[in-house]
Structures are given as C-alpha cells and as structure tokens.
Amino acid sequence: MSAKIALRGVAKRFGPKVVLDGVDLDVGAGESLVVIGGSGTGKSVLIKSILGLLRVDAGSIVVDGVEVTRLRGAALAAHQAKFGMLFQGGALFDSLSVWRNVAFALPRGRGAAKLKAAALDNLARVGLGADVADLRPSELSGGMQKRVALARAIAARPEIIFFDEPTTGLDPIMADVINDLIVSLVKDLRITALTITHDMASARKIADRIAMLYAGHIIWQGAREMIDTSGNAYVDQFVHGRAEGPIAMQVRSA
C-alpha cells in the first residue's frame, strides 16, 4: 500500500524556535492516524504544513505522489481541495447561518434550495436536525458547534480530513459522541484521517495507528493496540499523564 501522505525530514522554525526538526511520517489511504503530543509540540504546525497553509523550511511532503511544498496558485488550490478540516474551535463563520456554513464548500449555482437540502443531509449525518439550520453558530453550544463544523468538513466529501483536537473543550460524553461520529464518518465515507490530539481516550477510539510527536520528531509510532506496550518511556509518560518522567514540562508556549 503506497502512502496517501508521506513526510520526509520536514522542518519548520519560527525565528529561533525550532518546532519541527525532521519529521518522517506516512499515512496510508483510508487509514486513521492519530498524532499525539503535548501542547506546543508543533502538532498544528504539522497539519498546517501539509495543507500548505504554512511553508516548511526543509523536507518533502508528498500527497498522492505530488510534492506539495513548492505548489503555488491554482496547483496549491487543487491540492487544498482534497482536504477537509475540523478546527479546534470549530472556526464556523459567525456571519452565516448554520446551513450556509455547512454548504460553504459545495459548488454554487445549484440554487439555494438544493444547497440547503445538501446541507441538511450533512447535518443529519452528525445527528443534527433541520431545526438548527437557520440558527447562527453563536446560538449553539460548544458540542453542537463541533458537530456543525464536522458536517461542514465532510460536506464536500474530501479525500483526506484533518481533525485538530476534536474533543478539546467538550464534556466526556459529548467528546465520546464526537469520537463515535468521527469513526463512523471516516469508515462510511472511506476518508483518510489525520487527527492531532492530547486526549488519549479519543486517540484510542479513533486511531488505527498512533504516532507521538516530541521535540520536533516522531519518536514512536505503531498500531493502536501497541500504545500500552510501546516500551518507550516518553510514550508511557504521556499515555499515563504522569508529571514525572523524561518529558520536562515546557513553561513557555510555542
């Protein structure tokens, strides 16, 4: 199986701060990979680099056999059109109604009624009814906003979807609802998924494979079942959430 996404030696620094320092990582087609790591370890920088929202300083990022680090203009836009993304805070457009948010990436010019029907269909997939369609995002709870954002991310049926801290800020029950939705959507729609999180419950539920990012490198990767027997002191400390261990807590943020 050739990799859908292949990263080799990806490096990125902001001023003197080295965030990614030679990341090698493969995501297979249809696979759900979860990257775990502490706050400020560059998880968001990683996915923004793959999306082409950030330019890397060195290394190669290949998606579907195409080197994407040097893409510009229309070619970059075509690359970005393969992706859907669920942002940490939802990033819903607060000036638009819920259904207009969900229909945002759908081709225009089909008429508002058809667009709205497509939006309602995607809302139904995340368990939301037509009653929320005309509300503004600010009128929804955090969990509902996440669901709307999820509906928006899948609406255009992307080949690859990125989940940025999908359960952050949600209560444990709503977090599990989101996890279940992610699992079923990825399976039903056969989407390649890359999730970044520090929520181990979420990682255990969503992942086929787990990789850990620390100090700018992938320090461990393996199947979900192996996470508890990794034999890696860093992974163990993170998985069990211990203050004591090889990972020294960073005080300053990225």
Applying the rule CB under 8 A, the residues between 191 and 230 that interact with other proteins are none
Q: Toward other proteins, which CB reaches closer, 55 or 242? A: 55
Compute the least distance from the CB of residue 83 to other proteins, in Å: 6
- Listed in sequence order, the residues at least 6 apart from 194 whose beta carbon sits closer than 8 Å to its beta carbon are 5, 27, 33, 34, 35, 47, 50, 160, 161, 162, 163
CA distances (Å), 67 to each of 25, 50, 89, 135, in order? 14, 10, 30, 41
Compute the least distance from the CB of residue 103 to other proteins, in Å: 10
Compute the least distance from the CB of residue 149 to other proteins, in Å: 8
Q: Which stretch binds other proteins (CB under 8 A): 83-91, 139-147, 214-222, 225-233?
A: 83-91
Q: Which stretch binds other proteins (CB under 8 A): 87-95, 127-135, 222-230, 232-240?
A: 87-95
Q: Which stretch binds other proteins (CB under 8 A): 46-54, 64-72, 198-206, 210-218?
A: 46-54
- Confirm or reject binding of residue 51 to other proteins (CB under 8 A): yes
Print burial letters for 165-191: b (CB count within 10 Å at least 16), e (below 16): bbbeebeeebbebbbebbeebbeeeeb
Question: End-to-end distance of the chain based on CA atoms, in angstroms?
Answer: 35
Place of tokens 């192996």: 226
One of 153, 207, 210, 212 touching other proteins (CB under 8 A): 153
Applying the rule CB under 8 A, the residues between 102 and 121 that interact with other proteins are 104-105
- Confirm or reject binding of residue 71 to other proteins (CB under 8 A): no
Query: How far is Cα 193 from Cα 161, in angstroms, rounded to an integer?
Result: 5
Q: Toward other proteins, which CB reaches closer, 48 or 205? A: 48
- Confirm or reject binding of residue 163 to other proteins (CB under 8 A): no
Q: Toward other proteins, which CB reaches closer, 146 or 152? A: 152
Strands 17-28 and 217-223: unpaired
DSSP 8-state assignment for residue 221:
E
DSSP 8-state assignment for residue 128:
-
Binding site for other proteins (CB under 8 A): 48, 51, 53, 77, 80-81, 83-85, 87-89, 91-94, 104-105, 152-153, 156
